[in-house]
């Protein structure tokens, strides 16, 4: 929490003169002095109608009086700060010793609904990205003290389930040599898994092919998620909400929020012209056939979420659902619900690359690479790290060959190797008779070497990155930060001798390494990636 604490001290120091402040603390360009650059002069210039350079000099003078700041310098409209070695090493030494300081820092009750793939086939790598995003966010908010629940919404009603049932039935009749074979539906699911389900259906004498196929697929999905280190607290089916949907539609009609037209029931609360919904403003809730639409079920589902009393609800959806966002928000407004409680994260899909070539995929045609195959090939660690390496809104090209490499080219291997390397140093320290566990948090014996400071700074600011991720609802910043810690760790190891005859310096450097190890372990834990002691 180095940046958070420093920001608080700066605000306290300047509050009397400038009032409430909102500013950034960022790393200055490498060629410039200082640990952090403060943009306050630029922020205040417009408000005070003053020259940024003059403000920078005044602010630098004020901030130089803070005990934790060793030096200030003015660079254009910025004030660069160098924190004291004592303060920097104290913050690094106490990082991640316990989580008690963070427990309760956020007390929200949060529901995260993610994956929610239609139960019409196995999870593929795109679903894996959704799973990694949702689960890592859950881990992050749990670390910050929130009560988090993970939920999978099972779309087990509607036309796609009918197509699935017809697909399985056709294959079952084919396999059993039925005298009255069923024609395979033109838009049916053609993957080999349909044959597998059909064989099981024939062997068990199943009559309801749709329900049987759904249960088989959901069992496999739960197993895939388990392999991927994702544990759902609840699987909630769309069909279980139909009673609530009927009640909701009746209420809508009575309140004038729905109307009949051409035999169908329509949602009457139109969207504004400024929304991103690129289709008709009003939505069908119940078709002329009497069949409910996904939209009707989704309104009831979100209303059900609100009724359960969460402080915040997070939905993780594919980017192809972008037009659905305003529809959902508009329906919540119509119900009189606080739409600020819901956060919808849209993620871009994933493309696979092998031997430098893109892998073609099509779910309906049965041509896709399953999540289970990828995890078996590269491991859950690499799969999760790679899928979390970029912001959800950025597309990802998953390089399978790179993910399998055991070298510094592979980012997850590079970070895990840093953790293992530290553990090997402690093994050697134990062989030499050192007992650093008694004084690991005391880094006062460090020399102030640039490599020590760089590593300490990256360790002491990881919690700040966690807070940034919580604000932005993404954990990709953690992957970047862990790579920085690993890079600085390897540089420190090359530049600074750890085990020497100088016991105070040895214990201090072991303490810094221990802090780095704790930080890597915590960061990887939030990503759902393991921290091996040996590689």
> What is the rounded CA–CA span in Å between residue 532 and residue 418?
10
Give, for all 535 residues of the chain, the pLDDT tens digit: 899 999 999 999 999 999 999 999 999 988 899 999 999 999 999 889 999 999 999 999 999 999 999 999 999 899 999 999 999 999 999 888 765 445 445 679 999 999 999 999 999 999 999 999 999 999 999 999 999 999 999 999 888 999 999 999 999 999 998 877 778 999 999 888 999 999 999 999 999 999 999 999 999 999 999 999 999 999 999 999 988 998 999 988 888 889 999 999 999 865 443 344 444 445 899 999 988 898 999 999 999 999 999 999 999 999 999 988 988 998 898 889 999 999 999 999 899 999 999 987 765 555 678 999 999 999 999 999 999 999 999 999 999 999 999 999 999 999 999 999 999 999 999 999 886 555 567 899 999 999 999 999 999 999 999 999 999 999 999 999 999 999 999 999 999 999 999 999 999 999 999 999 999 999 999 999 999 999 9
> What is the rounded CA–CA span in Å between residue 477 and residue 292?
41
Backbone angles phi, psi at 344, to 5 degrees: -110, 120
CATH of 411-527, one of 3.60.110.10, 3.40.50.150, 1.10.730.10, 3.40.50.300: 1.10.730.10
Which is nearest to 387 in space by CA: 113, 138, 139, 132?
Answer: 132
Instruction: Just give the CATH number of 114-232+348-404.
Output: 3.40.50.620
| Stated pTM of the model | 0.93
CA dihedral 290, 295, 300, 301 (to 10 degrees): 130
462 to each of 2, 471, 475, 520, 523, how far by Cα in Å? 9, 14, 12, 9, 8
Instruction: Just give the CATH number of 2-83.
Output: 3.30.1360.70
> What is the rounded CA–CA span in Å between residue 260 and residue 286?
9
DSSP 258: E
* Residue 170 neighbours by CB under 8 Å, 6+ apart: 181, 182, 183, 184, 185, 188
Could you give the angle at the alpha carbon of 226 between the alpha carbons of 221 and 228, nearest 5°? 95
Annotated domain spans of the chain? 2-83, 114-232+348-404, 411-527
- Residues 506 and 183 sit within 8 Å (Cβ to Cβ): no
| CB neighbour burial string for 323-359, b if at least 16 within 10 angstroms, e if fewer | ebbbbbbbbbebbebeeebbebbbbbbbbbeeeeeee
Q: And the tokens for 295?
A: 């939209």
Tell me whether strands 283-286 and 264-267 are parallel, antiparallel or unpaired: antiparallel
Is there a shared CATH topology between the 114-232+348-404 domain and the 411-527 domain? no
């Amino acid at each position: 929490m180095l940046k958070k604490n420093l920001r608080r001290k700066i605000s306290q120091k300047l509050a009397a003169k400038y009032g409430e402040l909102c500013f950034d603390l960022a790393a200055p360009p490498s060629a410039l002095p200082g640990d952090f650059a403060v943009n306050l002069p630029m922020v205040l210039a417009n408000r005070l109608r003053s020259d940024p350079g003059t403000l920078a000099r005044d602010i630098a003078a004020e901030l130089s009086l803070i005990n934790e700041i060793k030096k200030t310098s003015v660079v254009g409209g910025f004030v660069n700060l160098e924190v004291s070695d004592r303060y920097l090493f104290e913050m690094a030494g106490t990082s991640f010793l316990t989580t008690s300081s963070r427990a309760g820092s956020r007390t929200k009750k949060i529901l995260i609904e993610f994956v929610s793939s239609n139960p019409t086939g196995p999870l593929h790598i795109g679903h894996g990205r959704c799973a990694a995003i949702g689960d890592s966010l859950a881990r992050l908010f749990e670390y910050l003290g929130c009560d988090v629940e993970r939920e999978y919404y099972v779309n087990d009603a509607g036309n796609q389930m009918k197509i699935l049932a017809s697909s399985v039935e056709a294959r079952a009749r084919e396999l059993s040599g039925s005298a009255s074979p069923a024609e395979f539906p033109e838009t049916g699911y053609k993957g080999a898994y349909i044959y597998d389900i059909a064989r099981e259906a024939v062997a068990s004498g199943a009559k309801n092919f749709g329900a049987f196929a759904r249960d088989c697929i959901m069992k496999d999905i739960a197993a895939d998620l388990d392999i991927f280190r994702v544990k759902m607290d609840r699987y909630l089916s769309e069909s279980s909400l139909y009673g609530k949907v009927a009640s909701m539609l009746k209420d809508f009609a009575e309140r004038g929020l729905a109307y009949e037209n051409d035999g169908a029931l329509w949602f009457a609360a139109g969207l504004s012209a400024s929304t991103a919904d690129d289709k008709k403003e009003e939505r069908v809730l119940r078709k002329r056939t009497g069949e409910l639409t996904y939209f009707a079920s989704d309104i009831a589902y979100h209303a059900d979420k609100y009724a359960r009393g969460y402080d915040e609800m997070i939905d993780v959806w594919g980017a192809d659902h972008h037009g659905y966002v305003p529809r959902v928000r508009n329906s919540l407004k119509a119900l009189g619900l606080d739409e600020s409680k819901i956060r919808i994260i849209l993620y871009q899909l994933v493309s696979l690359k092998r031997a430098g070539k893109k892998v073609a995929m099509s779910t309906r045609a049965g041509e896709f690479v399953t999540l289970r195959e990828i995890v078996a090939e590269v491991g859950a660690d690499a799969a999760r790290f790679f899928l979390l390496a970029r912001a959800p809104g950025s597309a990802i090209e998953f390089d399978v060959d790179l993910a399998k490499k055991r070298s510094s080219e592979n980012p997850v291997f590079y970070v895990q190797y840093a953790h293992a390397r530290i553990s090997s140093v402690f093994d050697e320290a134990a062989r030499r008779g050192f007992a650093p566990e008694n004084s690991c948090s005391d880094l006062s014996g460090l020399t102030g070497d640039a490599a020590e400071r760089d590593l300490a700074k990256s360790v002491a600011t990881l919690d700040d990155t966690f807070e940034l991720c919580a604000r932005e609802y993404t954990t990709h910043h953690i992957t970047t930060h862990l790579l920085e810690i690993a890079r600085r760790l390897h540089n420190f190891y090359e530049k600074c001798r750890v085990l020497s005859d100088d016991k105070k310096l040895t214990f201090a450097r072991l303490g810094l390494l221990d802090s780095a190890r704790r930080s890597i372990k915590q960061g990887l834990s939030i990503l759902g990636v393991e921290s091996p002691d040996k590689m």
